[in-house]
Structure formats: structure tokens, C-alpha cells
């Protein structure tokens, strides 16, 4: 199995989880004016910004690790496309992490009930 085939499985799962997170955020926004906080648009912007930073760091440190011989790849299993000396396939892991972790954060968010204001009969007359 090539690295791209292995990456395709992981990235497909990540894409489904990310789609579920965006749908949940969109539904939360559509639930009414009481909903506040993160929207699907701001979430996508934040994930995109984090992804850019993570890809730049991956490019730097993967090239260093491969250059000093810490990591190696079977030439028969890579596409031959490189960023520096790092195979392009190696960046799929950074993409998966940058998208999957925020997606899980949204999906596993603890739901707390909205605060209930006291009714007039429950207020203290003093």
C-alpha cells in the first residue's frame, strides 16, 4: 500500500468528522438568537489559520528530520513529489491533525442548559 492510499483512508475519515462539525455549528447558529459563540465561518477560518502554521512547521521540521537521517521513506511507495526533501505525502498527517482535533472539539463539546431566569413568583420580595 502506498503512502497516498494510506493517507486517503485517514483523510476521508477526517473529512467526514469535519463536515459533521460544520453542520453542528451551522445548526447551532440557526437555532435562534440565543445561540452565541463560534460559527461555522469563524471555525473554518481558525482551522485554516492553524493549518497554515502547522504546514509551515511540518515543512521545516520534516526536512530537518529527513536531512539528518532520522526518518526515511521507501522510494517505491512515495509519489516523487517533494517540498524540499520531504515527500508530499508526509503533509497529510499535519492536515489530518489540524482538521480532526478542532472538529472533535466541536462535536464533543459539553452541552450546558441555558440559564433560567427566575419567574416573578420566585423572586425575593425584600
pLDDT tens digits for 44-55? 999 999 999 999
pTM of the full predicted structure? 0.77
Q: List the one residue out of 10, 9, 6 whose CA is nearest residue 74.
A: 6
pLDDT tens digits for 103-116? 999 999 876 666 67
Q: At what angle do helices 40-67 and 3-30 cross, to 10 degrees?
A: 160
Do residues 87 and 3 make contact, with C-beta atoms less than 8 angstroms apart? yes
Amino acid at each position: 500500500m502506498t503512502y497516498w492510499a494510506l493517507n486517503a483512508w485517514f483523510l476521508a475519515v477526517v473529512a467526514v468528522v469535519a463536515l459533521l462539525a460544520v453542520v453542528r455549528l451551522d445548526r447551532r447558529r440557526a437555532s435562534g438568537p440565543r445561540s452565541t459563540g463560534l460559527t461555522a465561518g469563524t471555525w473554518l477560518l481558525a482551522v485554516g489559520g492553524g493549518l497554515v502554521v502547522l504546514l509551515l512547521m511540518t515543512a521545516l521540521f520534516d526536512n530537518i528530520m529527513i536531512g539528518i537521517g532520522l526518518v526515511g521513506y521507501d522510494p517505491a511507495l512515495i509519489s516523487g513529489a517533494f517540498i524540499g526533501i520531504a515527500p508530499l505525502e508526509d503533509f497529510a498527517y499535519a492536515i489530518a491533525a489540524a482538521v480532526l482535533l478542532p472538529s472533535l472539539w466541536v462535536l464533543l463539546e459539553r452541552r450546558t442548559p441555558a440559564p433560567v431566569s427566575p419567574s416573578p413568583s420566585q423572586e425575593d420580595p425584600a
